[in-house]
A and B are shown apart, each in its own frame.
Chain A
């Protein structure tokens, strides 16, 4: 009887912890995406062993399902529009005046030459619904006290990762570091948040660095120049037909 009680107690505490971790992640996600919508201007730098390339683009998002971006520079790629609509990906290329819907076979290819795949951007998996989350420790990063949260995908979730480990700071719920593991429990990439700034009243890391560990010397750096939240935007903005009007 005593033993049973102990086990019960153990599960109880475990549950409390899990809820806690979910709560933390939810807050942190809401902070990045805005409750309804967001607008951002960013510089993306692609680093390769022999060369590097910089792009500037604008992006709009609405909830989890809609995201659109348009390239501002380099000049040759200016006006290329990228649209995510639920789990579809569309491209508009002004030089050939064509709208292209990416076939599923191209989802694992790089997004605009970066280290992200198209699939990374489309992934609809929700951090709170598709993963079982546990706080596994505390650590201080750059003077900020962080929770370390382990995310293990549920069995029926359509997730490519085997496991995620996130560092989220206790005060502002910023995601400061994420490690991505494959199904063999091998770390495949690391994402780090740096240069904390105040965007539209929220403290967020302005620079995100994504390093794939299997490709030496490769790196993608995303720097947010402008970031606004809960802007006024209509769902019609994210229709494929509207893409050529984005500037």
Chain B
């Protein structure tokens, strides 16, 4: 009964309803698209940086992160691997052996990071085989792939040999000559300038230890919360290991996202204020306009609570119509731009392309199609409509029917 009256009231004054719905719709439409673009961009950054190298969750021997020495490495046995695999959300795991080293060819020398990787396992997590500039990712024993930056620095041609020289495991000296089998572009300038890849067996031989690893990289199932994986893992694993998400291993990315996200939140906040006052204005006008009607209803015996209920439902229906409209219309747009990513660099003008690449980001930003964004903003609007209906509630409770019917 109440619902029916509320609906009729909305339908009765179509123009007013339309204005309210449109104002909610317009603001929400903008908020959702803006956030979808932002989150899509962040997801893409995380994807390019995290998935191409660091992994969502990393496990090291305790103390490794603060002192990245081979003496803080670990021996990984089958039990540890089984334990990690038993955690929900873990899709793939892979071991790596990472060590700093001097790289030298001819008269030139520079520093680099050797990554001993498991060629076949690594392809389940990263897409390095697709990023090869030349050569192939199938490495044999004592062959290496170098980052684009290193290749440019030494002007490497095919089958050139690099000399690696550094510290091995437990006081051993590490030195060797390695032929270059390929060049990789990791789409990240830091990695390109430092990265050298070889099989984990070759790397272990280089540092004179046959069983150590420094990293276990965990790839999660899509959209699974990495923090939960960390929590579950820390319950299973002993204190000898440290477990970190990409947020800790790559804090600069998390910070960039937080800073930029805060800007987005401020924009959303401004839009919300516009919506709030738009809604409030309509409700205010409506209450004033309908004072006579309220007076009549109360004097013929309608309870004030019921009357308030009608107003509340009207506000909710109006806002939900705006919200629904916004969600329905934004989804195909987000979906389209998810499949056809927007080139941010093109929008930002000349030179932006290079800048983005220097920062290690891909300029392509597919929009996010996660339902989190529209639903959370719809919830905000819903709460707004509840808040706004406090005003007519107070008016109705204090309404004097006789006075209100005097014109």
Contact = CB atoms under 8 A, between A and B. Distances in A.
A117 to B, nearest CB: 14
Interface string B148-167: 00000000000000011100
A198 B212 CA distance: 44
A239 B103 CA distance: 26
Interface in A61-107: 74, 76-77, 80, 93, 95-98, 100
A42 B262 CA distance: 65
B173 A98 contact: no
A95 B170 contact: no
A77 B170 contact: no
B170 A96 contact: no
B71 interface: yes
A50 B163 contact: no
Interface size class of B (residues with CB under 8 A): 10 to 19
A219 to B, nearest CB: 13
A80 B176 CA distance: 13
B146 to A, nearest CB: 17
B177 interface: yes
A230 B380 CA distance: 91
Contacts, number: 39
Contacts of A244: none
Q: Chain B contact residues: over half helix, strand or loop, or mixed?
A: strand
A24 interface: no
A53 interface: yes
Contacts of B171: 46, 48, 53, 112-114
A93 B165 contact: yes
A242 interface: no
Contacts of A53: 170-172
Given A50-B71, A76-B208, A95 B172 contact: no
Contacts of B176: 95-96
A150 to B, nearest CB: 34
A51 interface: yes
A74 B169 CA distance: 13
A93 B102 CA distance: 14
A98 B163 contact: yes
Contacts of B71: 48, 50
B170 A51 contact: yes
A100 B172 CA distance: 17
Contacts of B284: none
B170 A93 contact: no
Contacts of A96: 163-165, 175-177
A77 B173 contact: yes
Interface string B312-327: 0000000000000000
19 contacts: A48-B171, A50-B71, A53-B170, A74-B172, A76-B173, A77-B172, A77-B173, A80-B173, A93-B165, A95-B175, A95-B177, A96-B163, A96-B165, A96-B177, A98-B163, A98-B165, A100-B165, A112-B171, A113-B172
Interface of B: 71, 163-165, 170-173, 175-177, 208
